[in-house]
Structure 1
Amino acid sequence: MAKTILITGANGNLGTAVVKKFLDEDYKVIGVDHSGSHLGFASTHPQFELHAVNLADEAASDTFVKEAISLYKKIDGALLLAGGFAMGDIAATDGTALRKMFSLNFETAYYLARPLFQHMMESGYGRIVLVGARPAIQSEAGKNLIAYALSKSLLIKLADLLNEAAKGKNVVVSVIAPSTIDTPVNRADMPKADFSKWVAPAQIAEVLEFICSGKGDSLRGPLYKIYGDA
């Protein structure tokens, strides 16, 4: 039976590559985003559906997860890709900037991870993937991205805490930490960069499918540094 995978940020540059990979590998994909403008290739696929959910709303996120569990009985994996980015050193980072990044990167993941983790613990199987970032791991990379780096570091700590709680269960929370992803937006923002050193969305999609497949079953608590040559 095909595994059921929930993917947030499904309409983004990374999300669309991930949706395509998982559909190609015959997963049932529940996409979450406010638009499907880049998902035309999936719109008529029998294994795909798209939902608009306000991920910053805890009640809406909880209701969505419970409805999905009621409909499909089991959610095997959740790739929580939704998030945002902002520049800013300590002088530029006030409380408003912190709260914005906290909401975009941490709360949108936490509000889904909380009910999904409980469901997976009850069912005895599950894979959750959170998106960290190199600036959350390396201070040199994060010193001018204070709010962004702090919000991503919380996701890494959340994974540690949940994996400790899941010891003895076949439930794993992984974190991917990409370097610069090769997207049109990043190319436009950094036109003089060497794009060949960046990580392609399709390469990240391969890692995510590995995590959710049987090939990654023996791994526990992994942090995947997907840096390429950047």
Structure 2
Amino acid sequence: KKKVMADTNVFLDRLLNYDKENMKESTVEKMQPYIKDKNFRPEQVKQVSSALVGLCQWVIAIEKFYRVNKVVKPKKETLGIADAEFNAAMADLNVKKAELKAVDDRLALLQQTLDESNTKKQNLEDEFSNTEKKLTRATKLMAGLGGEKSRYTMQSESLGEVYSRILGDVVLSAGMIAYLGPFTSNYRQELTEGWQSLCKKDNIPGSERYVMANFMGDPVK
């Protein structure tokens, strides 16, 4: 024992680094006579040797640690297993969270694509509706213009006939206004027929039966 304590530094180092976690039951049993001895108390040992007080405290503390650790160690081991299982579960949970986030991101992208497609669909439906309305209005307009076309065609043909003989009718109308005012109707008619003959002779187109009232317009208007 003196040899063990001969080198103080080595002895203290052994005490500080003592493997208390793996103490044997037999070692603790050897300590029991000292632990049970009422004189093996720091206050009692101090009366004999103040240098041994620390060693006494260390022995008592180590023995108490063993008793407590004997109960706690299995629980610590169980806790270690539980921690390992918890860490494994957390790692698996993190993987699942990452997978869920990937699914959520994909779902958000699909939702965005769906919203854009719905917007495009609505725009196309609106454009189709507007085009359909325009087509309906255009069809009605064309149907209305169809009747106008017939009327315009008839008027065009009628005006064509009027324009084809307008030169002679203008000549006769100008002559009547300028020269025939003072004369009787019979004499005016005779002169008018003479002028018509001259126009035909010179190939000036005019109405077959010229009536000044018809050529000059509606007297009511």
TM-score computed with the length of structure 1 as normaliser: 0.17
Which of the pair has more CA radius of gyration? 2
Q: Pick the structure with more strand per residue.
A: 1
Q: Pick the structure with more helix per residue.
A: 2
